[in-house]
Amino acid sequence: MTDPHPLTPLLAPRSVAIFGASNDPTRISGRSLRYYREAGYQGALYPINPTRDTVQGLTAYPDLAAVPGPVEFAIIAVPANLATEAMQSCVAKGVKAVVMFTAGFAEIGPEGRAMQEHITAIAQQNGIRLCGPNCLGLFNMRTGHTPTFSSFLEEGPTAAGPLGMVTQSGAFGTHLLALAARRGIQVGVWLSTGNEADVAVADGISFLADDPDTTAIACYVEAIRDGAAFGAAVARARANGKPVIAMKVGGSTIGAAAAASHTASLAGSDAVYDAALRQLGVERAKTPEDLIEIAYACTRGRLPRSRRLAVVTMSGGAGVLMADAAEEEGLELTPLAEESQKEVLSWVPFAAPRNPVDVTAQALNDPTILDKGFDLLLGKENFPSMVGFFTTWASSPQMAEPLFRSVSAAAARYPDRYFALSAIASPQMQRRYEEAGVGLYEDPWRAVQSIAAAVRCAERLSSAPPPVPPVPQDMPPLPAGTLSEHEAKHILAAAGVPILAERLATNTAEAAAASSLGERLVLKIVSPEITHKTEVGGVMLDVPAAEAGAAYQRLVERVAARAPGAKIDGVLISPMVKGGVEMILGVQDDAVFGPVVMLGLGGIFVEVLRDVTFRIAPFGVEEAHRMIAELRGAAILRGARGQPPCDLDALALALSRLSLFAAAQRGRFTSIDINPLLVRATGEGVAALDALILTQAAAGEIHGGGATA
Amino acid sequence: MTDPHPLTPLLAPRSVAIFGASNDPTRISGRSLRYYREAGYQGALYPINPTRDTVQGLTAYPDLAAVPGPVEFAIIAVPANLATEAMQSCVAKGVKAVVMFTAGFAEIGPEGRAMQEHITAIAQQNGIRLCGPNCLGLFNMRTGHTPTFSSFLEEGPTAAGPLGMVTQSGAFGTHLLALAARRGIQVGVWLSTGNEADVAVADGISFLADDPDTTAIACYVEAIRDGAAFGAAVARARANGKPVIAMKVGGSTIGAAAAASHTASLAGSDAVYDAALRQLGVERAKTPEDLIEIAYACTRGRLPRSRRLAVVTMSGGAGVLMADAAEEEGLELTPLAEESQKEVLSWVPFAAPRNPVDVTAQALNDPTILDKGFDLLLGKENFPSMVGFFTTWASSPQMAEPLFRSVSAAAARYPDRYFALSAIASPQMQRRYEEAGVGLYEDPWRAVQSIAAAVRCAERLSSAPPPVPPVPQDMPPLPAGTLSEHEAKHILAAAGVPILAERLATNTAEAAAASSLGERLVLKIVSPEITHKTEVGGVMLDVPAAEAGAAYQRLVERVAARAPGAKIDGVLISPMVKGGVEMILGVQDDAVFGPVVMLGLGGIFVEVLRDVTFRIAPFGVEEAHRMIAELRGAAILRGARGQPPCDLDALALALSRLSLFAAAQRGRFTSIDINPLLVRATGEGVAALDALILTQAAAGEIHGGGATA
């Protein structure tokens, strides 16, 4: 990469000014400068302090203008009422990036929000990237750039390791940094984004995606403001071969309310977030422990090549447990070849030789069993990954060294394999294993779980993201105002979502003529004022074709009686179709991710089990197939209970086309519902039997809409 | 308790003989003796060693007979071929309990199994309780009784703490002991059971239930042999106010296979285990980490009194996360009263005052905010439990002491409250908090999760187990041989599972006479040789009453044509019932737990979603209601989709009656299926529409049976 990343002035500047730098290195206002000096920052450092000539031994300047050379970056920690002035002096000096610790902005209410917007506008108009306000800053240990007052660096600079971390919350970020350090993970770059007036988590991911020394990226997110920017940053990391692991909080009702009070952010629905993160190729961690353990598994210098896993154990119980964990996580404990099993038994007569391979305590007496076992599994059996359970052997006076020799030698003999151990070791021994490329886990279940997460990350990185068809540019814009079912369906049909043949009849004769559509017909009232047709008796099912004219008359009279005054545009007539599976498709315009397509199975699946799944629009058929497979009731579509398999390709195509339509019409609708979409047997396609599009203009007119027919 | 527990000779003997005790305290054969001496065992210790006069400074004896005083307990670690002889000398000496480390018995094959059975028979015939063989022994730190060679005691004796632990696997037990010790949990008594020739996990639980210094019991189980004994032991612990936490492995296909090779045990279905553990009141832990963390939460000297939880945090992000965790775990973050919220805001203007209460970093400047906050939450607001997030404050030079003072003082002011902290502290500081009655968790999610587990444990202990009606003693035994649907239903009806009125017609006239049963009828063929009636056209639905005679004739002819030679006993006629929800009830005779009742919703719920639940028979209606509520589709029964609510009381009663029937008939059947049981609207009851009972005698005759009609 020849062009530096646009965030280089923020994350790796050559010169730094610190507003209000204190001479006392233990005070919050003195900490950043102390950290810079301890970290060996090589750029220019300018403390700004109107009352002192020197600060912590460095020449101080009364104001930014007095600084002799150029200043690329500044820390602003002055009180909120002085922050505007500080920002203006940054503009005057040509500063390119600012970290603002100061609190008291959007998080405290409208007045603070106005002040924040004012400062952000100054920054943006003058090409200054602003991190914060109300953040704890960041560090980049690769250059010793430490504009933060996080207590994490109080005990000295940390190693410039392979993990990059981006956390919206600075306090919780500090907690995660401490947990990572205790786990032996070296975080080389950390960024906290606070109020995200300008720089957001996505910017941090984007910078780390380009940073050559970062191999994995961990994030803590409370709310994403710009889903597209987040998606682009993750795609950049993916293209550069770096897994992104994210914890997103605020999924619960109380949690979302607390998040709103905390970050003053819009918190989207957790189900949408969950699907979006999956679609973008992010490994979502549920808990801090998960985040840390997955980050650990992904920073061992290599990733597992496949789902095949060899398990070696000296405890049968641990073998059972790891087999349970592997099955739950979708890893494959392929049994060893007969011949290999015999070989194991020739060393240890009472071994369990299949996989898990239980070498029993026999290896205590003869550690060469381990060497032979590792060669058998990684050499002859060619497993890409191996996990060993050796409990307290790693810390026992007798076995610690023999075990380390055997394991580290095997890791060196097979440098392309993924090697993990479940064992209890001293911190020193733990480091020695890690330096040998072997990850250590106290809990064998956690070991398997973390390997599985690393496998998922590797799979994402080794496969291209599924193709997304281009969004049509020539689509006629959705008309404003209310759309009838008839209009909605024809618009969707033109966009590629099939519908049945149908005719709009406006009199008895036209209805009678529609009898050619099929032997049995469905008649539905068409009125812009009636969204819930069944409630006014506006639907007739299974009408014999010969009675179409009479049924038309009855239907119109019935609706006129039950919904007097409603303008009736006619009656929609279509063939009655039986069989197939009814699905519900929908689109909402999500505040974070834009149009989001929902899919669910009709009936109890949606109504009782809430079995629905989401995707950000647009997407292609491959992603649509994944979406379908995520439904708990997907077996229904594959032909459960003696029914023929459904036309999944047609369903996937309709989903993709709907997503392209939604992306093209973004901003012109608030919701689209297709309920039901009938999915017929393989080869017979799908058909939208009813549809409702609420356009932007119409959205205000109809309340509580959504469900149709 | 005046009578000592029957396992006292095993777990707290007054005199101990050690076969083959080595003078070298580092060798496996020398370890037990060394551990006894280090633990300060006060009873008599007799090393048995034919080649030495003294062993590790104690007088040695050439054989057991030579020991001068009585010997209550012996360790046998001699090779398998000498074990019988050692056991016989124990019989001669009047030993009451033996721990046998020796491997090479049932776990290696039929020959070893025979040897194990022989030794077990000697023990049982002579009133000796046998722990092992193939086990790592046990320790009881309350008396310094340490018959084990587990490496766990290599670093010296451990504290006689409140946790009791029983692990089938000794090696994995040692791993759990090490994890517990690293977590700061003191395990006072540990028992590994190995091959469980006699003493099983249930025995260990039973002893610990009576041990006055044990407050919680953690188990690791690969397979339970005797479900009833396990249930009785858990009930004993429950009656004595002690939670039982269990990890049961072998749930996966590979895991179960590995478990079988490991322990030579019968592994029941994991779904049955899961339901049984829940029914017995066991807190099931999924992973070793879970087991350890729940044990930690349950050994803090008190348990939470209710689900109400106060969350205090200095990081908004952590507050959001803990709120998410609380919602997922079913804890209630009741919002503070308006007045209390105002009080919080008077201390910290930008606090989030609802719950979570975010006191922000402001408490750094003014630690009295913490004191006031704790008083507000535990005093005025009277929360029974509180969790605080204080991250690295607990280890920061500035805040560590003020935070500890404030928290420990609050814990002392409110000694009946449950107090947990999510914070990162040094091991020393961690111990100080624990001594003050405050549990520490690095991960705030884990803190909430563990509190929730402790809440569940407390709820079980404070509520009486649901009543179980007595099993009827006067029930006529099931007849041997094959039962027809008609017979099966009448037997079940007599046992209290309602059926519809029905008549067996053996000719056209009888069929015609059955028209009085209802307007529309169902006709089903009755033949002992036909279990799948629909496959041979043996069922007619919705037959008008007037056509009953003719329908009889058609049905009999059709079946005769499709199943020529099948003996036809007649046609069962019953009213056609519409509406209601169809359930599937079944009973299997489980190898571990005896008769186990299954319940599922008919149709896709069972066939696609495998939505079934189990209970050990017998049980009462309260337990049956819990069973119903566990179904994912339970909303269907409560009246989803515009249907009337179903008669849940009648369903619960039928389930309980079925369980009593199954318990009474134990051993006389292999399976019972009621498919479907129709559950009608509230007040209208339930009816078994079809039933199949495979008696013990009949089980061999019909293959692949199970589904009926």
- What is the nearest CA distance from B1 to chain A, expressed in angstroms? 35
Is 70 exceeded by the pLDDT of residue A701? Answer: no
Is 50 exceeded by the pLDDT of residue A251? Answer: yes
Rounded to 5 degrees, φ, ψ at A327 are: -65, -45
Q: Residue A258: pLDDT band by 50, 70, 90 thresholds?
A: low
Q: Residue B309: pLDDT band by 50, 70, 90 thresholds?
A: very high
Is 90 exceeded by the pLDDT of residue A324? Answer: yes
d(CA A236, CA A201): 14
User: Among A36-40, A635-639, B411-415, whose mean pLDDT is lowest?
Assistant: A635-639
- Predicted ipTM of the assembly: 0.91
Q: Residue B706: pLDDT band by 50, 70, 90 thresholds?
A: very low
A175 with B641: Cβ contact below 8 A: no
Q: For the segment B387-410, what is each residue's pLDDT rounded down to a tens digit?
A: 999 998 999 888 899 999 999 999
Q: Give contacts of B443 with chain A, Cβ < 8 Å.
A: 179, 287-289
Q: For the segment A279-298, what is each residue's pLDDT rounded down to a tens digit?
A: 999 999 999 999 999 999 99
Q: For the segment A531-546, what is each residue's pLDDT rounded down to a tens digit?
A: 778 888 899 999 999 9
Amino acid found at A361: A
B250 with A324: Cβ contact below 8 A: yes
Q: Which residue has the tokens 């624990």?
A: B434
Is 80 exceeded by the pLDDT of residue B542? Answer: yes
Q: Give contacts of A137 with chain B, Cβ < 8 Å.
A: none
Mean pLDDT calculated for residue range B15-24: 94
Question: Residue B169: its pLDDT value, please?
Answer: 93
Q: For the segment A486-525, what is each residue's pLDDT rounded down to a tens digit?
A: 899 999 999 999 999 999 999 999 999 988 899 999 999 9
Q: Is A493 on the interface with B (CB under 8 A)?
A: no
Tokens of A590: 């999500």
% residues pLDDT > 70 (chain B):
95
Q: For the segment B439-473, what is each residue's pLDDT rounded down to a tens digit?
A: 999 999 999 999 999 999 999 999 988 999 999 99
Residue A171 has its nearest CB partner, among B250, B315, B609, at B315
Q: How far is CA A540 from CA A51, A508, A575, A583, B440, in A?
A: 86, 15, 12, 21, 65
Is 90 exceeded by the pLDDT of residue B642? Answer: no
Is 50 exceeded by the pLDDT of residue B251? Answer: yes
8 Å CB contact between A594 and A573: no
B249 with A444: Cβ contact below 8 A: no
User: Among A259-263, A443-447, B542-546, B601-605, whose mean pLDDT is lowest?
Assistant: A259-263
% residues pLDDT > 90 (chain A):
77
Chain B interface test: which of A136, A148, A254 (most B C-beta within 10 Å): A254
Q: Which phi-psi region, left, alpha or beta, contains residue A355 (left: φ > 0; alpha: ψ -120 to 50)?
A: left
Q: Residue A530: pLDDT band by 50, 70, 90 thresholds?
A: confident
8 Å CB contact between B587 and B658: yes
Q: Residue B266: pLDDT band by 50, 70, 90 thresholds?
A: very low
Q: Return the number of other C-beta atoms located less than 10 Å from residue B667's C-beta.
A: 11
On the question of a cis peptide bond just before residue B133, with omega within 30 degrees of 0, the verdict is: yes
8 Å CB contact between B138 and B190: yes
8 Å CB contact between A658 and A686: no
Q: Residue B268: pLDDT band by 50, 70, 90 thresholds?
A: low
- What is the nearest CA distance from B102 to chain A, expressed in angstroms? 13
B171 with A317: Cβ contact below 8 A: yes
d(CA A619, CA A663): 9
Interface of A with B in 151-190 (CB under 8 A): 151-152, 154, 167-169, 171-172, 174-175, 178-179, 182
Question: Residue A2: its pLDDT value, please?
Answer: 61
Question: Residue B109: its pLDDT value, please?
Answer: 85
Question: Residue B403: its pLDDT value, please?
Answer: 95
Question: Residue A702: its pLDDT value, please?
Answer: 43
A323 with B286: Cβ contact below 8 A: no
Q: Give contacts of B327 with chain A, Cβ < 8 Å.
A: 251-255
Q: For the segment A46-78, what is each residue's pLDDT rounded down to a tens digit?
A: 999 999 999 999 999 999 999 999 999 999 998
Q: For the segment A207-226, what is each residue's pLDDT rounded down to a tens digit?
A: 999 999 999 999 999 989 89
Bridge partners, A612 (sequence order): A600
Q: For the segment A355-388, what is each residue's pLDDT rounded down to a tens digit?
A: 999 998 888 888 899 999 999 999 999 999 999 9
Q: Is B413 on the interface with A (CB under 8 A)?
A: no
Residue B392 has its nearest CB partner, among A175, A222, A288, at A175
Q: Which residue has the tokens 């318990």?
A: B663
Q: Residue B707: pLDDT band by 50, 70, 90 thresholds?
A: very low
Question: Residue B3: its pLDDT value, please?
Answer: 84
Q: Which of A304, A319, A433, A325 is nearest to A378 (CA)?
A: A304
d(CA B667, CA B594): 9
- What is the nearest CA distance from B358 to chain A, expressed in angstroms? 9
Mean pLDDT calculated for residue range A545-559: 92
CA nearest to B251 within chain A: A324
Question: Residue A699: its pLDDT value, please?
Answer: 52
Q: Residue A708: pLDDT band by 50, 70, 90 thresholds?
A: very low
- What is the nearest CA distance from B161 to chain A, expressed in angstroms? 21
Q: Residue A449: pLDDT band by 50, 70, 90 thresholds?
A: very high
Q: For the segment B194-246, what is each residue's pLDDT rounded down to a tens digit?
A: 999 999 999 999 999 999 999 999 999 998 989 999 999 999 999 999 999 99
Is 70 exceeded by the pLDDT of residue A705? Answer: no
Mean pLDDT calculated for residue range A241-249: 96
CA nearest to A329 within chain B: B252
* More reliable by pLDDT, B253 or B321: B321
B392 with A174: Cβ contact below 8 A: yes
Q: For the segment A160-191, what is each residue's pLDDT rounded down to a tens digit?
A: 999 999 999 999 999 999 999 999 999 999 99
Question: Residue A148: its pLDDT value, please?
Answer: 97
Q: Give contacts of B535 with chain A, Cβ < 8 Å.
A: none
Residue B175 has its nearest CB partner, among A255, A256, A318, at A318
CA nearest to A291 within chain B: B443
Tokens of A334: 């392929």
CA nearest to A637 within chain B: B608
Q: For the segment B105-157, what is each residue's pLDDT rounded down to a tens digit?
A: 998 889 999 999 999 999 999 999 999 999 999 999 999 999 999 999 988 99
- What is the nearest CA distance from A263 to chain B, expressed in angstroms? 8
Is 80 exceeded by the pLDDT of residue B264? Answer: no
- DSSP 3-state of B35: helix
d(CA A131, CA A108): 18
B391 with A171: Cβ contact below 8 A: yes
Question: Residue A709: its pLDDT value, please?
Answer: 37
Is 70 exceeded by the pLDDT of residue B367? Answer: yes
Residue B315 has its nearest CB partner, among A152, A169, A314, at A169
d(CA B123, CA B88): 9
Question: Residue B705: its pLDDT value, please?
Answer: 36
When mean pLDDT is compared over A94-98, A99-103, A588-592, B482-486, the highest value belongs to A94-98
pTM: 0.93
Q: Residue A685: pLDDT band by 50, 70, 90 thresholds?
A: very high
Q: Give contacts of B249 with chain A, Cβ < 8 Å.
A: 317, 320-321, 324
Tokens of B566: 């099948």
Mean pLDDT calculated for residue range B557-582: 90
Q: What is the mean pLDDT of chain A?
A: 92
Question: Residue A363: its pLDDT value, please?
Answer: 84
Q: Which of A547, A327, A564, A568 is nearest to A448 (CA)?
A: A327
Question: Residue A266: its pLDDT value, please?
Answer: 38
8 Å CB contact between A610 and A707: no
Q: For the segment A599-614, what is each residue's pLDDT rounded down to a tens digit?
A: 999 877 777 778 889 9
Mean pLDDT calculated for residue range B350-358: 92
Q: Residue B509: pLDDT band by 50, 70, 90 thresholds?
A: very high
Question: Residue A481: its pLDDT value, please?
Answer: 79
Is 90 exceeded by the pLDDT of residue B383? Answer: yes
Q: Residue B708: pLDDT band by 50, 70, 90 thresholds?
A: very low
Tokens of B609: 């979603």
CA nearest to B259 within chain A: A320
Q: Residue A245: pLDDT band by 50, 70, 90 thresholds?
A: very high
Residue B249 has its nearest CB partner, among A151, A324, A358, at A324
Is 90 exceeded by the pLDDT of residue B252? Answer: no
Q: Is A271 on the interface with B (CB under 8 A)?
A: no
Q: Give contacts of A447 with chain B, Cβ < 8 Å.
A: none
Question: Residue B709: its pLDDT value, please?
Answer: 37
Mean pLDDT calculated for residue range A471-497: 91
Is 90 exceeded by the pLDDT of residue B533? Answer: no
